Amino acid sequence: MCGIIGFAGNLPAKDVLIDGLEQLEYRGYDSAGIAIMDPSAGLLLAKKVGRVADLREAAKKLETKGTTGIGHTRWATHGGVTDANAHPHRVGRVTLIHNGIIENYRDLTVQYGLKDMLKSETDSEVAAAFLDKVYEGDPIDAIRKVVKLLSGSFALCIMFDDQPGKIYSVRNVSPLVAAASKKGAIIASDLTAIIAYSKEYFVVPEYHILTLSEEGIKVEDMKGNEVKPEILTVNWDISAAQKGGYPHFMLKEIYEQPDALSRTIMPRVKDGLPYLLDDGIDDEVLKGVKNINIVACGTAMHAGMVGRTVLENRLRIPVTVEIASEFRYKDPIIDEGTLTIVLSQSGETIDTLEALKLAKSKGSKVISIVNVKGSTIARESDYVLYTHAGPEIAVASTKAYTVQISAMYLIACRMGFVKGILKEDEAKEFVQNLMNAGELIKETLLNANNIKRIANYIKVAPDVFYIGRGIDYTMCLEASLKLKEISYIHSEAYAAGELKHGTIALISEGVPVIAIATDENVYSKVISNIREVKSRGAYVILISHDDDINDNTICDKQIKIPDADSTFSVFATAAVLQLIAYFVSDAKGLDVDKPRNLAKSVTVE
C-alpha cells in the first residue's frame, strides 16, 4: 500500500526520492508525489496520478539542488484517484505524507474547524491542517499534541517551512524503517528504498518522534526522552531487489524458489531432524499443543491450508484455518492447549496482525512465519520462524508461499516427533523429502516451455476452473487466486467432488479445467471427476505424475511433475501453477508485477 520515503542529507533529494519511490512501486499505488525544500525557492511540490515514471517526467521542471524532501506513492482509500488527493499534502507551513488511515478525521475536522483549510478529500490532509493549526514553532510539541488525538494507523513524515533540512516522523502500526549514513538520514516504508544507502537500519518504534537531518536521526519518546533503537543489519543485497536479467520480478522469484527453500530449511535440520531451538521454539512449546488455529490472508492463508493437511492427516491434530479478517471479529475458541500460527510474507498485514493480538489476548501462544525481519507481526509474536525467501517484489506471491509451506512442514514434523506421533525414522524420512523440495521445483521448471504453450490456450478464456481433492484442492485455491490477480481472468477452484453440486452447469465446450491429481489415495476419484467435465466439453489440462496418458476422454494436455508423495508434490505443483498464471498474464501483455488495484502489503483493513 502507500509507500513513504524521506531524505535529509547531502545528496540532491529529488533523485533520492524518485529512485526510492521506484523501489517502492511494488507495494501498489495509483499516484505519486514529492516535496523538496529548496534553499532559495522554498517548498517545491510535484504530484500526479499515474506511475513514478510520470512523476519523474513532471519533476524535471523542478530545478532544485535541495537536499531535504519527502516522497509518496498513494494507494487510494479515502478520496478518489486524483492529483489533489495525491501526497504530499501542504497546508500552511506544513507539508506531509501519510500511510494508513486516520479514522477520526471527520471528527477532527469539525471539532478543530479545519474544513476551510482542506483542498482534498483525504484523511491525510486533515493531519496536515491540524498540525498547522497547533504549530507554534516547536515541531515536536505540535506533533505530540496532534498524535495524541489521532485514531487509526499512521506513518507520517512531516516538513515545516521554518525548519530547513529537517524531517519529522512518527508512526502507529503502519511500518517505517530508518537509517543514518554518511550521505544523510533516510526513512521509508520498507528496506527496498533504503538499502542503496545503508545496510544498517532500525525499525521506527511506535509513538516515538524522529528528527532526521544531515547529522543523523534523533529518536525520542512522547515525553521527550531520547531513545537508542536497536540497529539491525539487512541480510540481502540490492541485487536481490532487482530483476537480474529476468523480464519480470515474478518470473525471477519463481526461479529463486529452490534457493529460498534451501535457505529456509537447511539451517533448521540437525541430525536429520527439524531443529527449531535457534528460533527460540523449544520442544515444550510444541509438546502440549492440542489444537491449532492458523490465521493469515490470501496466499499466506493458502500456505496455511497446505500445512493443515499435514498436521491433521499425519499427526491427527485438529487444525482450523481462518481468514484473518474474519478471525479478528469473531470470538475464537482458544484454550490452554491452543497454538496459533500466523503466516505473513510482509509481516505487516493489518488483519493478520490484529488477529495475532486477539489470539494472544485470549491466552494462545503465537508462532509467526514471516519473511520480513523485524516486521510488526514478527515483533508481536511469541516465537518467529523467519522464512528466508529474500525480498519478494512481485505483488503475486510465489517464493514466499513455498517457503511458508516448508516452514509449516518443519513445525509439523518437529511437533509430530516430540509428541511421539512420528517415530524418529519417519520424521527423518519426512525431513529428507522436504530437503528435496527445491530439486522437485528445479526439475519442474525445465518444463517451462511446455507450460507456456498451454498458457496460450488459457489466455483467451473468459473463465477457468481448477479442480482437485485433498491437498491438491488447496493448491487449486492458490492457483485460482494467482491467475485472477495477474491475468484478470475469472477463475474458480473446486473440490473435484463438489463440482457436480452446482458449478458443473458452467462447463461447456472448450472451457479450460485444470485438474490436479497427485494423491494416489484419491487419484481414481479425481479421474472420474475429470471424465465428468470432459464429457461436457471441457478442455482439460491434467497435472499429475503420469507419463503420457494419451487418452482424450481424460485430458487434452498433460503436465507431468516429478514423482513424489503428494505432501511434497505441492512444491512442483506450485511451480507449474505459478508459471501458468505468469505466462497467461505476460501473453496478455499485462503488468505482471504490478496488477491493477492490488497492493503488495495490505496495511489497511
Q: Which residues bind ligand M6R (CB under 6 A)?
A: 297-300, 344-346, 349, 352, 395-397, 485, 601-602
User: What is the pairing mode between strands 338-344 and 383-386?
Assistant: unpaired
**Nearest partner of 572 among 408, 407, 410, 437, judged by Cα:** 437
Q: For the purposes of burial, counting CB atoms within 10 Å of the CB of 548, is it exposed (0-12), middle (13-18) or buried (19 or more)?
A: exposed
For 149, the grid coordinates are 488525538
The nearest distance, CB 410 to ligand M6R, in angstroms, is: 18
Of the pair 342, 538, the CB lying nearest ligand M6R is at 342
Of the pair 163, 601, the CB lying nearest ligand M6R is at 601
Residue 88, preceding bond cis, omega within 30 degrees? Answer: yes
Catalytic residue among 2, 157, 413, 555: 2
Of the pair 17, 403, the CB lying nearest ligand M6R is at 403
The nearest distance, CB 470 to ligand M6R, in angstroms, is: 22
User: What is the pairing mode between strands 319-323 and 291-296?
Assistant: parallel
| Alpha-helical segments (H) within 330-470 | 350-361, 376-380, 399-418, 424-435, 437-445, 448-458
Name the one residue in this structure whose C-alpha cell is 500500500.
1
- Return the C-alpha torsion angle 531, 536, 540, 542, nearest 10: -20
The nearest distance, CB 100 to ligand M6R, in angstroms, is: 16
557 annotated active-site: no
Of the pair 485, 586, the CB lying nearest ligand M6R is at 485
Angle of the 298-315 helix axis to the 399-418 helix axis, nearest 10: 30
For residue 296, count other CB atoms closer than 10 A to its CB: 31
Of the pair 174, 397, the CB lying nearest ligand M6R is at 397
Angle of the 566-587 helix axis to the 399-418 helix axis, nearest 10: 170
The nearest distance, CB 342 to ligand M6R, in angstroms, is: 9
Q: Which residue is nearest to ligand M6R (CB)?
A: 298
Of the pair 85, 387, the CB lying nearest ligand M6R is at 387
Query: How many whole angstroms separate alpha carbon 500 and alpha carbon 351?
Result: 34
The nearest distance, CB 361 to ligand M6R, in angstroms, is: 20
214-218 long-range contacts, Cβ below 8 Å, gap at least 24?
214/8, 214/9, 214/10, 214/67, 214/165, 214/184, 214/185, 215/185, 216/180, 216/185, 217/178, 217/180, 217/185, 217/187
Of the pair 386, 430, the CB lying nearest ligand M6R is at 386
Output the furthest CA–CA distance in the chain (Å, rounded).
80
Of the pair 398, 558, the CB lying nearest ligand M6R is at 398
2 annotated active-site: yes
* Residues across the chain: 605
Angle at 492 between CA 398 and CA 499, to 5 degrees: 130
Residue 579's alpha-carbon distances to 173, 489, 493, 511, 564, in angstroms, are 35, 15, 17, 20, 20
The nearest distance, CB 398 to ligand M6R, in angstroms, is: 8
Query: How many whole angstroms separate alpha carbon 182 and alpha carbon 420?
Result: 55
Q: Which residues are 353's β-sheet partners?
A: none
The nearest distance, CB 260 to ligand M6R, in angstroms, is: 14
Side chain identity, residue 312: E
Of the pair 447, 578, the CB lying nearest ligand M6R is at 578
The nearest distance, CB 477 to ligand M6R, in angstroms, is: 11
The nearest distance, CB 380 to ligand M6R, in angstroms, is: 13
Residue 570's alpha-carbon distances to 260, 306, 308, 407, 428, in angstroms, are 16, 8, 13, 14, 19
The nearest distance, CB 475 to ligand M6R, in angstroms, is: 14
Query: How many whole angstroms separate alpha carbon 130 and alpha carbon 143?
Result: 10
Of the pair 213, 375, the CB lying nearest ligand M6R is at 375
Q: Is 179 helix (H, G, I), strand (E, B) or coil?
A: strand
Of the pair 68, 299, the CB lying nearest ligand M6R is at 299
The nearest distance, CB 585 to ligand M6R, in angstroms, is: 12
Q: Give me Rg for the CA atoms of the chain.
A: 25
Q: Is 292 helix (H, G, I), strand (E, B) or coil?
A: strand
Catalytic residue among 373, 399, 534, 600: 600
Catalytic residues: 2, 600
